[in-house]
Amino acid sequence: MDFKKIPKAVIERIPLYLNCLDKLNSNNIETTSSKQIADEIGLGEVQVRKDLNLISGNGKPKIGYKVVDLQKDLQKTIRNSEKTNFIIVGCGKIGEALANYNEFVNHNFALIGLFDNNKSKIGKRILDLEILDEKKLTTFCTQNHIDIGIIAVPCESAQKVCDDLITSGVKGILNFTNAKLNVDTNISVRNVDIVSLLTMIAIEINE
Amino acid sequence: MDFKKIPKAVIERIPLYLNCLDKLNSNNIETTSSKQIADEIGLGEVQVRKDLNLISGNGKPKIGYKVVDLQKDLQKTIRNSEKTNFIIVGCGKIGEALANYNEFVNHNFALIGLFDNNKSKIGKRILDLEILDEKKLTTFCTQNHIDIGIIAVPCESAQKVCDDLITSGVKGILNFTNAKLNVDTNISVRNVDIVSLLTMIAIEINE
DNA sequence: TAGATTGTTAATCGATTAACAATC
DNA sequence: TAGATTGTTAATCGATTAACAATC
């Protein structure tokens, strides 16, 4: 929907910039420079400058960047609307841990639905949000605007849940199973698999 | 320690190959090809061939690769020893969820320690592993061979825990806090931050 | 003005893809 | 032998870094 396509590599860094700016903000720092940001997050300053120029273009020679302006420009890449709505499917250990995390609202993400297919879980609440029957998933998603679905069900059901989410209009998936999800290219999928992460670390420390 | 340096991009794909081979194995498929693997995990076949040639070099023209041989060659990039030992520091919701995950052993990772600084948690057990006092962390790490430490403590204590781990000889860190850890370049760090992941997905679906 | 800092252009580096020769 | 599949070399693409001109 945005006019300029943001390179994959830059997308990976935007959360770092946002984090850094949050920190500067809470320290009441109003103006910053590519050097300061680069040092803080451990990147090269030229790279930071190039990224920020692409995303914001509001740097001023000799002065640098206004922190709040930069935050606004970065935010624009993330969303058009007020909030990004997401749901969690699967309220086992991982799903529950995620649902209890209360930092979402500070970053304009809104957790608006929890689902499980286990009778003993349905009807319970996590931080005031009721766990709904997974059967209601597609209805819920079509009736509410859901941007992202988090999949935290057992591996075997992951593809089914994924298909249901996409059929109901969800455009992004965060997959906590180690299933390889088959999706159309217009859907954004990220995977978090602990064994894969440990494997990559193990390779790096073995070199 | 390995003689040939594996490119960063290839390291990211090794878990995919391992996953795919596990699946082929459980389907009793003994021989495979770059085409089959590529289709399964959604990569180009030339890329798969190049990666596998770098890592294994045991492909045979017209025949392909023996699944078990390929698995062995991939495993060699991951570890020299029998197992990769790791511990979890912080047994809150996330730490507990991770500790309960029982797939580690199937992939030659061994969870051998749990730590927390909360009196109400110390002494409890998760899947037969006792939660130890965080004060014992450095002693434990120096007395046992720990390859990787998972940090699942509150954000504020992350850097302190990280420093303790590294001082005690840990070479890899999996960081579940959104703290930006400051480490020496010889230490491998991977971060899992749910807000960052949601942010990247949100950017991609907003384009 | 001189210094600091941005933005841009060119050069380098690394990763992917294409073309094709080698071979069980 | 012909076909299938690997491994390699060259070409392309994308990302990073270096050099430097522009400017508040």
Closest residue by C-alpha to C1' distance, nucleotide C4: A62
Question: What's the average model confidence in pLDDT over B5-22?
Answer: 96
Tokens of A39: 């040092």
- Nearest nucleotide (CA of B61 to C1'): D6
Q: Check if residue B62 sits with its Cβ under 7 angstroms from strand D.
A: yes
Map tokens 């209009």 to a residue. A169
Taking phi over 0 as left and psi of -120 to 50 as alpha, with beta for the rest, A201 belongs to alpha
Q: Cβ of A198 and B86 within 8 Å?
A: yes
Which member of B93, B178, B198 has the closest CB to residue A97? Answer: B93
Helix (H, G, I), strand (E, B) or coil at A86: strand
Question: pLDDT, tens digit, for every residue of B133-179?
Answer: 999 999 999 999 999 999 999 999 999 999 999 999 999 999 999 99
Question: A183 vs chain B: nearest CA distance in angstroms?
Answer: 10
Confidence grade of residue B2 (pLDDT, cut at 50, 70, 90): very low
The model carries a pTM of 0.95
In one letter, which amino acid is B127?
L
Q: With a cut of 90, say whether residue B207 has pLDDT above it.
A: no
Residue B115's beta-bridge partner residues?
B89, B132
**For position B4, what pLDDT does the model report?**
64
Look at residues B86, B132, B82 and name the one whose alpha carbon lies nearest to residue B110: B86
Do the beta carbons of residue B171 and residue B147 sit within 8 Å?
Answer: yes
Instruction: Give A-chain residues touching B206 at CB under 8 angstroms.
Output: 1-2, 77-80
Name the average pLDDT for chain B: 95
Report pLDDT for B59.
95
Give the whole-angstrom CA distance, residue A160 versus residue A182.
10
CB B49 within 8 A of CB B56: no
B15 and A193 within 8 Å at the Cβ level: the answer is yes
Q: What is the rounded CA–CA span in Å between residue B131 and residue B122?
A: 5
What is the Rg, in whole angstroms, of the alpha carbon atoms belonging to chain A?
A: 20
Sheet holding B129-133, edge to edge: B125-126, B129-133, B109-116, B84-89, B148-151, B172-175, B188-191
Residue A114: both structure tokens together:
């929890």
Tell me whether B128 touches chain A (CB under 8 Å): no
B84 - beta bridge partners? B109
Structure token pair of residue B86: 């790791």
Q: What's the rounded mean pLDDT across residues B22-40? A: 96
Instruction: Output DSSP code: residue B3.
Output: S
Buried b / exposed e along B62-81 (16+ C-beta atoms within 10 A): eebbbbeebbebbeebbbee
Q: Which two tokens stand for residue B119?
A: 């009196």
**What residues does A130 pair with on adjacent strands?**
A125
DSSP assignment letter at A106: G
Which pLDDT tens digit goes with each residue over A118-138? Answer: 999 999 999 999 999 999 999
Closest CA to A173 of A195, A161, A190, A185: A190
Neighbour tally for A139: CB within 10 Å: 11
Distance of CA A113 to the CA centre of its chain: 16
Name the DSSP letter for residue B127.
T
Task: Supply the mean pLDDT for chain A.
Answer: 95
**pLDDT tens across B95-124, in order?**
999 999 989 999 999 999 999 999 999 999
Query: Cα separation of A184 and A166, whole Å?
Result: 9
**For A59-88, what is the mean pLDDT?**
95
- Three-class DSSP category at A104: coil
Closest C-alpha among B51, B97, B122, B75 to residue B192: B97
For residue A70 the two structure tokens come to 């930069």
